[in-house]
């Protein structure tokens, strides 16, 4: 287990978890997932309205808890990757501005070009 920033793990090649997290993030922002969550909330309301057995209450409550926990993990992963991408872009802009101020264009401009396309890679 590693405690590195998610964007730093695995070097330049994206890890299995990063690809899975991105796909899951795309799915959870889709209308299909929203419809499923809406159906789950409706099911909980129906179970309460019909005063079904405790097993049904427990099942629906645990389902809601599981979905919430998974969404929280995905949200945090996406947030950290976006934060890292923004920081790398800001660092590249600062370095390019410093080079421009010193009238010595160099590697920072190339780093800035790479950073601008970073959202395709993260």
Rounded Cα gap, residues 37 and 34, in angstroms = 5
CA nearest neighbour of 119 among 22, 40, 29, 1: 22
Decide: residue 92, CB within 10 A, 0-12 exposed, 13-18 middle, 19+ buried: buried
Both tokens of 50, joined, read: 């019909």
What pLDDT digit, counting tens, does each position of 65-119 carry?
999 998 888 888 888 888 888 888 888 888 878 777 777 767 776 666 676 665 5
- Could you tell me the pTM of the whole model? 0.58
Sign of CA dihedral 73, 79, 83, 85: positive
What pLDDT digit, counting tens, does each position of 34-77 carry?
999 899 999 999 999 999 899 999 999 899 999 999 888 888 88
């Amino acid at each position: 287990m590693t405690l590195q920033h998610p964007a730093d793990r695995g070097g330049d090649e994206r890890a299995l978890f990063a690809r899975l997290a991105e796909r899951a993030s795309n799915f959870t922002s889709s209308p299909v997932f929203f419809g499923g969550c809406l159906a789950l909330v409706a099911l909980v309301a129906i179970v309460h309205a019909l005063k079904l057995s405790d097993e049904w209450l427990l099942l629906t409550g645990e389902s809601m808890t599981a979905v919430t926990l998974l969404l929280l993990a995905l949200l945090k992963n996406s947030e950290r990757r976006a934060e890292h991408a923004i920081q790398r872009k800001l660092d590249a802009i600062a370095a390019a501005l410093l080079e421009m101020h010193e009238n010595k264009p160099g590697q920072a401009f190339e780093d800035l070009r790479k950073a601008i396309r970073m959202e395709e890679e993260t």
